[in-house]
């Protein structure tokens, strides 16, 4: 039996009337009568008995009705599940570490949302390591992460590089500089994001290679803590260029040779949905090249 035959039979059996069933199904009575005759012929069962102008189900008809009703419930559940999967693909789960978020979130919550209101974004602000873990566990659809070593099972699509910067107050002795060396940055008292963030691992690895002892006062999971401590003159921070607001009391000075290499990550071997492709294309189109010269002039 086809699903259409099941639907026709269920309506006739429930109403025990060709007329009422045809009206519900919005088809002609002769069409439905012929369909029932064909069904009896194909199954070899006598499904109905006629009582005057009405019909009744035979014992075989009752048994088939119970099976058909059960099957149609399963079909309805299947259709509902497929619809839910389709809705999920219009509800993209995006994982973004905080430093990359200073560049990405204004694009996602501003331009992307305006251009694609039909795509709902569930954004998780995580560490870089956690963002990649979410992709591996298929708990996120897309992650935008910087400076990640290659992970088996993940596909990366590169975005333009951006420099990491020393974040200082505008009255700091280095504030007028257009750039600082890595050693100069490490000589300042620092507040860093904790070691779940890839930038901190990058800094620690480089310090070990260059035999530098950074003056780290505090590790924090919060970018706001960095801004707060730097604003109070207690430490300097490491942020991405663009990681401070122009109207704030802070400036971001590029650190020579300390670059982040952002990329869009998805799970290898999993179908990239149309909504994911839309987001990836948008980010590759709108993610800016680092305005180092412009930023240096403003500082």
Residue 88 φ/ψ, nearest 5 degrees: -60, -35
pLDDT score of 54 more than 60: yes
68-108 pLDDT per residue, tens: 999 999 988 888 877 666 655 568 999 998 888 888 899 99
**Under CATH, to which class is 162-260 assigned?**
alpha beta
Beta bridge partners of 56: 49
Count of CB atoms within 10 A of residue 92's CB?
22
Q: Residue 154 CB: number of other CB atoms within 10 A?
A: 17
Is residue 163 a contact partner of residue 202, using CB atoms and an 8 Å limit? no
Q: Pick the residue with more confidence: 264 or 86?
A: 264
Q: From CA 282, how far away is CA 4, in angstroms rounded?
A: 42
Q: What is the mean pLDDT of residues 217-236?
A: 93
Q: How much of the chain, in percent, has pLDDT values that exceed 90?
A: 63
pLDDT over 50 (residue 297): no
Q: Name the helix (H) or strand (E) containing 252.
A: strand 250-260
Q: Is 28 exposed, middle or buried (0-12, 13-18, 19+ CB in 10 A)?
A: exposed
166 pLDDT higher than 90: yes
| C-alpha pair distances (Å), 16 with each of 6, 29, 47, 67, 188 | 15, 13, 11, 17, 86
pLDDT at 147: 65
Exposure b/e, 102-140, CB count within 10 A at least 16 = b: bbbbebbeeebeeebeebebebeebbbbbbbbbbbeeeb
pLDDT at 87: 58
Each residue of 172-217: pLDDT tens digit? Answer: 999 999 999 999 999 999 999 988 788 898 899 999 999 999 999 9
The token pair that represents 80 in the structure block? 């509902």
Kindly report each contact of residues 27-33 with a partner whose C-beta sits within 8 Å and lies 24 or more positions away, as own/partner.
Answer: 32/8
What is the domain partition of the chain in residue ranges?
A: 3-88, 91-160+262-291, 162-260
Query: Which CATH code is given to the segment(s) 91-160+262-291?
Result: 3.40.190.10
Distance CA 205, CA 221 (A): 19
Distance CA 297, CA 39 (A): 82
Which residues in 220-237 are b (16+ Cβ under 10 Å) and which e? beebebbbebbeeeebbb
Please check whether the domain covering 3-88 is classified as CATH 3.50.30.30. Answer: no
Let me know if the fold of 3-88 is the same as that of 162-260: no
């Amino acid at each position: 039996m086809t699903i259409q035959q099941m639907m026709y039979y269920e309506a006739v059996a429930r109403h025990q009337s060709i007329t009422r069933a045809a009206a519900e199904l919005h088809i002609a009575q002769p069409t439905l009568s012929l369909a029932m005759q064909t069904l009896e012929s194909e199954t070899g069962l006598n499904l109905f008995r006629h009582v005057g102008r009405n019909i009744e189900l035979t014992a075989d008809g009752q048994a088939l009705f119970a099976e058909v009703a059960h099957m149609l419930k399963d079909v309805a559940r299947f259709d509902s599940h497929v619809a839910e999967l389709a809705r999920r693909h219009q509800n993209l789960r995006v994982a973004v570490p905080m430093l990359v978020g200073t560049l990405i979130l204004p694009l996602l919550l501003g331009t992307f949302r305006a251009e694609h209101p039909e795509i709902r974004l569930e954004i998780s602000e995580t560490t870089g390591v956690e963002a990649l873990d979410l992709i591996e566990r298929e708990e996120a659809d897309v992650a935008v992460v910087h400076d990640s070593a290659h992970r088996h099972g993940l596909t990366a699509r590169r975005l333009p590089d951006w420099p990491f910067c020393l974040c200082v107050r505008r009255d700091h002795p280095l504030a007028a500089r257009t750039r600082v060396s890595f050693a100069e940055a490490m000589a300042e008292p620092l507040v860093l994001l904790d070691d779940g963030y890839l930038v901190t691992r990058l800094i620690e690895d480089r310090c070990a290679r260059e035999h530098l002892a950074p003056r780290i006062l505090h590790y924090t999971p919060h970018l706001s803590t960095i801004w707060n401590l730097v604003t109070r003159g207690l430490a300097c921070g490491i942020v991405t260029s663009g990681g401070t607001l122009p109207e704030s009391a802070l400036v971001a000075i590029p650190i020579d040779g300390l670059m982040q290499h952002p990329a869009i990550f998805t799970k290898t071997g999993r179908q990239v949905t149309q909504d994911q492709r839309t987001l990836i294309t948008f980010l590759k189109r709108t993610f800016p090249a680092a305005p180092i010269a412009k930023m240096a002039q403003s500082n």
